């Protein structure tokens, strides 16, 4: 039986709810951001009333597609301030989302129960030593600097296995570890200008900026229907009518030079911007202004049928939490 802090998780236990409280204004999901004492207190009370079992505090955005690196000093100040307020507000276990040993040490000194490291203890070489010293519960993610394609499930398992080995070397028992098998799917963001004709004789032209998103491997257009991501080669001739990522979340891509890509993980394929430009112009009659790769977060869940003793893997999108089969 696994435990995060004092809370039993997994097995026959009910699904646990983690309330997310970010003190980083640069975080992509603005509704998770709470800055200032009263806003933090109100957010915690709201989470507690809605059934949260833990409060997870973040001081720096970890979105892979954003340039959000801040100094350790700033991250420490943000997180410590929030942790102290939360401790005076609730008795719920506190998790701190950080990949930095210095930040982890400071919050563990305050009595924080859980460290949530999205890099699976791989970013900071001092993190295992801090973990060994304070022995907290851990949430470990599947982390790699490289884009994973091909057999993503096997690759994710190997990444998690490596993190478990690091945790074991830090003398953390498996019963205090929960795995978060997040991964990222490469997509193509196409910035376009859609020209709409108006007026009685449709002679007036209005230029409208839009974004369209394609699957990196198939180059199918990605759209949303009933809160599920789907893909097709053609959805609608009018880009205005396509519900996609921009309707439900905010995505900001990094420049190519800011990301450590290994294109071997993309099956030897690189992003052919000219090909995408011609494809979109031909299909939709639009002006293509820019073509970039972005990383879209997904999660892999293992579902077990107890009666038949069989398991299956399910890929979930990072926006709605629904199956992701584009």
In the block, residue with structure tokens 């584009």: 326
| Nearest-angstrom CA–CA distance, 57 and 110 | 13
What does the mean pLDDT of the chain come to? Answer: 81
- Highest mean pLDDT (candidates 135-139, 215-219, 279-283): 135-139
- What crossing angle do the helices spanning 127-134 and 152-169 adopt, rounded to 10°? 60
pLDDT over 90 for what percent of the chain?
Answer: 34
| Nearest-angstrom CA–CA distance, 3 and 178 | 8
In the numeric block, which tokens belong to residue 134? 């304070």
Q: Dump pLDDT digits (tens) for 85-121.
A: 999 999 999 999 999 999 999 999 999 999 999 889 9
Q: Could you give the count of Cα atoms lying within 13 Å of 111 in the half-sphere of its Cβ? A: 9
Q: How confident is the model at residue 63 (pLDDT cuts 50, 70, 90)?
A: low
| Nearest-angstrom CA–CA distance, 15 and 10 | 7
Residue 225 belongs to what H/E stretch? strand 221-225
Q: Is 152:313 a contact under the CB 8 Å cutoff?
A: no
Q: What angle do CA 253, 247, 156 make, to 5 degrees?
A: 50
| Nearest-angstrom CA–CA distance, 308 and 179 | 24
* DSSP secondary structure letters along 242-281: ---GGGT----PPPGGGS---GGGGTT----HHHHHHHHH
Give the burial class of 274: count Cβ atoms within 10 A of its Cβ; 0-12 exposed, 13-18 middle, 19 or more buried. exposed
Instruction: Out of 11-25, 149-163, 281-295, pick the least confident.
Output: 149-163
| Nearest-angstrom CA–CA distance, 13 and 18 | 15
Q: Is 290:191 a contact under the CB 8 Å cutoff?
A: yes
Give the burial class of 231: count Cβ atoms within 10 A of its Cβ; 0-12 exposed, 13-18 middle, 19 or more buried. middle
Residue 66 is predicted with a pLDDT of 46
The mean pLDDT value for 234-252 works out to 76
| Nearest-angstrom CA–CA distance, 166 and 305 | 30
Examine the pLDDT at 64 and tell me if it is beyond 70.
no
Examine the pLDDT at 247 and tell me if it is beyond 50.
yes
Phi and psi based region of residue 171 (left: phi greater than 0; alpha: psi -120 to 50; beta: remaining): left
Domains of the chain as residue ranges with CATH: 2-180 (3.20.20.20), 184-298 (no CATH)
Q: How confident is the model at residue 257 (pLDDT cuts 50, 70, 90)?
A: very low
Examine the pLDDT at 227 and tell me if it is beyond 90.
no
């Amino acid at each position: 039986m696994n435990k995060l802090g004092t809370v039993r998780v997994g097995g026959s236990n009910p699904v646990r709810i983690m309330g997310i409280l970010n003190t980083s204004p640069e975080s992509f999901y603005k509704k998770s951001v709470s800055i200032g004492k009263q806003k933090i207190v109100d957010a915690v009370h709201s989470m507690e009333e809605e059934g949260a079992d833990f409060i997870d505090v973040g001081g720096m955005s970890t979105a892979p597609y954003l340039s959000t690196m801040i100094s350790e000093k700033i991250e420490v100040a943000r997180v410590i301030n929030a942790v102290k307020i939360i401790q005076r507000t609730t008795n719920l276990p506190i998790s701190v989302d950080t990949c930095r040993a210095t930040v982890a040490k400071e919050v563990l000194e305050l009595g924080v129960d859980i460290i949530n490291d999205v890099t699976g203890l791989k970013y900071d070489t001092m993190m295992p030593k801090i973990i060994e010293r304070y022995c907290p519960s851990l949430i470990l993610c599947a982390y790699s600097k490289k884009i994973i394609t091909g057999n993503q499930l096997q690759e994710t398992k190997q990444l998690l296995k490596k993190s478990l080995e690091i945790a074991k070397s830090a003398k953390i028992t498996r019963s205090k570890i929960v795995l978060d098998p997040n991964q990222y799917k490469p997509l193509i963001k196409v910035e376009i200008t859609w020209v709409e004709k108006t007026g009685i004789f449709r002679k007036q032209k209005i230029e409208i900026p839009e974004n369209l998103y394609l699957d990196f491997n198939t180059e199918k257009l990605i759209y949303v229907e009933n809160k599920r991501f789907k893909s097709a080669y053609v959805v609608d001739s009018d880009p205005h009518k396509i519900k996609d990522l921009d309707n439900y979340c905010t995505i900001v891509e990094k420049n190519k030079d800011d990301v450590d890509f290994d294109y071997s993980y993309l099956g030897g394929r690189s992003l052919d911007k000219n090909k995408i430009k011609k494809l979109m112009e031909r299909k939709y009659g639009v002006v293509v202004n820019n073509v970039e790769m972005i990383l879209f977060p997904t999660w892999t869940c293992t579902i077990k049928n107890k009666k038949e003793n069989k398991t299956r893997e399910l890929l979930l999108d990072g926006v709605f939490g629904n199956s992701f089969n584009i």
